[in-house]
Structure 1
Amino acid sequence: MASRWLRPEVYPLFAAVGLAVGICGFQLVRNICINPEVRVNKVNRAAGVLDNFAEGEKYAENFLRKFARNREPEIMPSLNRFFTDPSRN
């Protein structure tokens, strides 16, 4: 029975599903731990709506967003420049 599911052709499927589950788990833990709008314990839930804009700004402006803000939205910039640069012709 195990050899039926553990053939080499199934490994990429396991990897893709494992990656998707890992990303979902990471996002879940990230939201529970550091999202300012999620309150898990009873004391924080009793506080109601908080106007804590500094904490919300810190959560929204994470490292990846700051890193990618002033970059060109290209996947392979050198390859794009190679094919589109008019000075190369």
Structure 2
Amino acid sequence: MASSRWLRPEVYPLFAATGVAVSICGMQLIRNITTNPEVRVLKEKRAAGVLDNFAEGERYSEHGLRKFVRNRTPQIMPSINNFFSKPDLPN
């Protein structure tokens, strides 16, 4: 009875959006635990205290997505924005 209420085709996009959001959160959690220089899971590494390892911090903060969008315009759909914001001028 409950399965027929929740597993209708209209609910599939909601499940998909929730699944994408959970996977993004999980990916970020795993990225922070494994590569963040300030997170130390092992006891031996926690005993080292504060490290001034600037190269590791730079490598963490300058990830691939940031490098990809660095020199791009901060617009989601530039062609549509230009179409509506820049009118054609008559010659």
Aligned residue pairs total: 88
Give the letter for the 1:49 counterpart: V
User: What is the TM-score with the length of structure 1 in the denominator?
Assistant: 0.88
- The separation in 2 between residues aligned to 1:82 and 1:10, in whole angstroms, is 35
21-30 or 63-72, larger mean C-alpha shift = 63-72
- The separation in 1 between residues aligned to 2:4 and 2:85, in whole angstroms, is 50
- The separation in 2 between residues aligned to 1:21 and 1:76, in whole angstroms, is 25
74-83 or 22-31, larger mean C-alpha shift = 74-83
Match of 2:10 in 1: 9
Match of 1:49 in 2: 50
Instruction: Map 1:1-89; keep pairs closer than 5 Å.
Output: 1=1, 2-86=3-87, 88-89=88-89
**Identical pairs, percent:** 73
User: What is the TM-score with the length of structure 2 in the denominator?
Assistant: 0.86
Structure 2's unaligned 5+ residue stretches are none
Structure 1's unaligned 5+ residue stretches are none
- The separation in 2 between residues aligned to 1:4 and 1:76, in whole angstroms, is 37
Q: Secondary structure at the match of 1:40?
A: coil
